[in-house]
Amino acid sequence: MRVLYPTPLLFATAVAAVPYQQYILAPPSRNLRPVAVRLQSGSLSAATDLLDSQVSLRQGLILGTFNSSVTYDFGKNVAGWVNFNTTSNGGALGFTFTESSLWISPEASDATADAGSDAPLVFNLTAAGHYAAPIDRERGAFRYLTVVNLGHGQVSINDLWVHFTAMPHWSADSLRNYTGWFHSNDEKLNRVWYAGERFAHPDLQLVLTMMHQSTRDDALNYLNVITSNSTVIGTLDCITKKCQSPLGRYRALLQASGPGTYCMPSGPPRTHSANFSSPI
């Protein structure tokens, strides 16, 4: 699959030797286009014309009939405002969102609450041109975006992108210039840390531990207790608290250096060798 966020040449040269480069998941710009077509349904043509790799070649997606749809894959979780250009003077388009392919649907989005589903984002087209989601319809994390024809005639889209709104305090050309980093000799721990770092507040860092399942609690209890100004030297003890939500909620608020330990879901703590820097 085509890489979604290639590292800019100049920055790649500067950080080529750093071990955490592969975990820099931020995009190179704020305008993000899909990288693959996941699903197609109904009467349509040229679904791949809206992919990032076709940016200079695109003619445009045509959704021919009511309920015809295409699900696009952005390759990684993104967030922000949907934008598109259309040559159609009428009709209606709906957009649905989901983080997991299990919940792809042309009818509703994976809910932002604990129960139920979110209604589609609907645009009633009145003229050809550029359309953008209103500020109050900014969408949080999603990987899959489904475009569905909600009108009774043919609708065309000749460009589709998401304006990435994470890291608003960073300039658009500096999103990948991480100033904080973590790297250990345990690849699984590296992946856990960066998975959490991607969703944590810029001034926070992920708890560098995986909790014992029998003693779980909410790691967010440490919010504002351990901060980016805290330092732990020597050993990181496994915090035997539980988290009832996904791994992204294991947020720690710590800056550390030196060797440490972390807990697996079962068994004794393991020792790792790690290096830390200040968070972004």
The alpha carbon of 212 is separated from its chain's Cα centroid by a whole number of angstroms, namely 27
Residues in Cβ contact with 200 at an 8 Å cutoff, skipping those fewer than 6 apart: 206, 251
Residues in the chain: 280
Residue 215 maps to a domain:
yes
Helix (H) or strand (E) holding 189: helix 187-199
The pLDDT, as a whole number, for residue 91 is 95
| Residue range of the domain that includes 202 | 182-276
The pLDDT, as a whole number, for residue 41 is 94
Which residues on neighbouring strands pair with residue 271, listed in sequence order? 261
The pLDDT, as a whole number, for residue 212 is 31
14 and 116 belong to one structural domain: yes
Residue 148 maps to a domain:
yes
Q: Are 169 and 127 in contact (CB under 8 A)?
A: no
Name the residue among 278, 270, 259 with its Cα closest to residue 205.
Answer: 278
The pLDDT, as a whole number, for residue 126 is 95
- The CATH number of whichever domain residue 85 belongs to comes to 2.60.120.260
238 and 207 belong to one structural domain: yes
The pLDDT, as a whole number, for residue 38 is 96
Residue 173 maps to a domain:
no
- One-letter amino acid of 113: A
Residue 158 maps to a domain:
yes
- One-letter amino acid of 145: L
72 and 129 belong to one structural domain: yes
Residue 202 maps to a domain:
yes
158 and 221 belong to one structural domain: no
- 280 residues of the chain, pLDDT tens digit each: 333 333 333 333 444 456 677 788 788 889 999 999 999 999 999 999 999 988 766 689 999 999 999 999 999 889 999 999 999 999 999 999 999 899 898 888 887 656 678 889 999 999 999 999 998 888 888 999 999 999 999 999 999 999 998 878 888 888 888 776 777 888 888 888 777 766 653 333 233 333 333 333 444 454 555 454 544 443 333 332 333 333 333 333 233 333 333 333 333 334 444 455 444 3
Residue 2 maps to a domain:
no
User: Parallel, antiparallel, or unpaired: how do β-strands 61-63 and 117-118 relate?
Assistant: unpaired
Name the 3-class secondary structure at 134: coil
The pLDDT, as a whole number, for residue 174 is 84
17 and 149 belong to one structural domain: yes
Last residue of a domain, one of 129, 164, 199: 164
18 and 122 belong to one structural domain: yes
